[in-house]
Homo-oligomer: A and B are copies of this chain.
Amino acid sequence: MQKRLLFVTGTRADFGKIEPLALAARDAGHDVSFFVTGMHMLDRYGLTKIEVHRTPGVTVHEFLNQRIGDPQDMVLAKTVMGFSDFVIEHRPDLVVVHGDRVEALACALVCATNYIRCAHIEGGEVSGTIDELFRHCNTKLAYCHFVSSQAAARRVMALGEPAEAIYAIGSPELDFHANSSGVTLEQVKTRYDIPFDEYGIVTFHPVTSESDTMGAQAKALFAALETSGRDFVVILPNNDPGSEAILQVIRDLPKDRFRAIPSMRFAHFSELMKHAACIIGNSSAGVREAPFLGIPSLDIGTRQNRRSDAPSITSCTAANSDTISRFLSEDWGKRYPQDAAFGAGDAAHRFTAVLGDPSFWTRSLQKEFQDHG
């Protein structure tokens, strides 16, 4: 029962999420191809289409859908036109879209109007931005839903989707961490020049709507860390508004105790994380990967609000030096039981199991709104 699966990817971030699913589907014998568009195609964002092309055993279709500066709705319109021509020509059995970007929405719209099955990955999550609206539209347009958590599944049901079309397979990213990274901790330390035996990992990104206080927040946070006398690997922030103020604080830290690294290969970062004494900051790694790996994490500020409530997570503001220092003394190096709220690291396996069930392919494309309560 080989099927023609088409995975849509617009950014390195969503590629990281759908790659495990695509590889597993390929290995299960399906005909897998990628529709590569969005930021992947733009020089300014690193021309990351190259990473998709490196995947063996799949077909890659490129579509340039924008120029720098295009408004979102124009990108939507161009993607709709291009993807519509594409599916008319290629007729996939299933289109897989991820998340909440305009490219995913455009492709889900095309699938709905052309009666092509569309699977949506990581629906039901909240972020409080315009992208969140697109995510929920994707839920309404999709044929089925592969969600990361029970909370997400509940939200997809609230949106009226039938329970039998919702599969809580967990977050596909965790699949990486569930497996051996392929590198040793020694190799990681050598490559990135990390001298510590015991270390915490810090990643502190700017929050767009708080960009003018990011400097103060960073100052407070890193002051508390410095006071602790511990050693830290610091991953530098992305370049959203507010990052410059954070970078300035990091530059002034003592270099022998704060090792700053611009970015790491994924396998190396995974290995480093597995041995960390704790994870600190406001990246999703702290609320999703850390609980999964049982590592204590300190979640700073509002960025990951409402994303998780695992017991291994301590939440506070950057200014709350008491909570920070208590966390660093009490939780440092501790290990918690694995938290499976975002899955058991077997999302890809669960995904292909669903595809392998013949009844998956025969449900009506006409969905009926499910009222609850």
A interface, CB within 8 angstroms of B: 41-43, 61-68, 71-74, 76-78, 80-82, 84-86, 88-89, 102, 109-110, 112-114, 126, 128-130, 132-133, 136-137, 140-141, 154-155, 158-160, 366-369, 371-373
In whole angstroms, what is the CA distance A74 to B113 when docked?
10
B369 and A155 within 8 A (CB): yes
Query: What is the count of identical protomers in the complex?
Result: 4
**What is the distance, in angstroms, from A91's C-beta to the closest C-beta of chain B?**
10
Q: Is the interface of A mostly helix, strand, loop or mixed?
A: helix
Distance between A40 CB and nearest chain B CB, rounded to angstroms = 12
In the complex, the chain B residue whose C-beta lies closest to that of A125 is B369
Other-chain residue from B61, B72, B155 in contact with A113 (beta carbon distance below 8 A): B72
Contact residues in B for A158 (Cβ distance below 8 Å): 158-160, 371-373
Minimum CB–CB distance from A316 to chain B (whole Å) comes to 21
Closest chain B residue, CB of each to CB of A132: B369
Q: Are A112 and B130 in contact (CB under 8 A)?
A: yes
Instruction: In the A-B complex, list the 7 residue pairs whose CB atoms are closest, starting with the nearest.
Output: A72-B113, A77-B77, A77-B80, A137-B137, A73-B113, A67-B88, A136-B140
Q: Which of B113, B129, B136, B154 is A130 in contact with, Cβ under 8 Å?
A: B113
CA distance in complex: A296, B109 (Å): 41
Shortest Cβ distance from residue A81 to the other chain B in the assembled complex, whole angstroms: 5
A79, closest chain B residue (CB): B77
Instruction: Tell me the complex Cα distance, A84–B69, Å.
Output: 13
Residue ID in chain B nearest A365 by CB atoms: B130
Residues in B neighbouring A159, C-beta threshold 8 A:
136, 158-160
Q: How far is the CA of A82 from the CA of B89 in the complex (A)?
A: 18
In the complex, which residue of chain B has the Cβ closest to the Cβ of A151? B371
Interchain CA distance A102-B68 in the complex, whole Å: 24
- In the bound assembly, the distance between CA atoms of A73 and B113 in angstroms comes to 6
Q: Are A113 and B76 in contact (CB under 8 A)?
A: yes
Q: List 12 A-B contacts (CB under 8 A).
A: A62-B62, A73-B109, A76-B113, A102-B113, A112-B133, A126-B368, A132-B369, A133-B141, A137-B140, A158-B373, A159-B159, A159-B160
Find chain B residues with CB under 8 A from A154 CB: 371
- Complex Cα distance, B353 from A10, in Å, reads 42
The answer on a CB contact under 8 Å between B128 and A368 is yes
Chain B residue numbers with a CB within 8 Å of A81 are 73-74, 77-78
Assembled-state Cα–Cα distance A1/B335 (Å): 60
Residues of B within 8 A of A42 (CB): 89
Nearest Cβ distance between residue A254 and chain B, in whole angstroms? Answer: 39
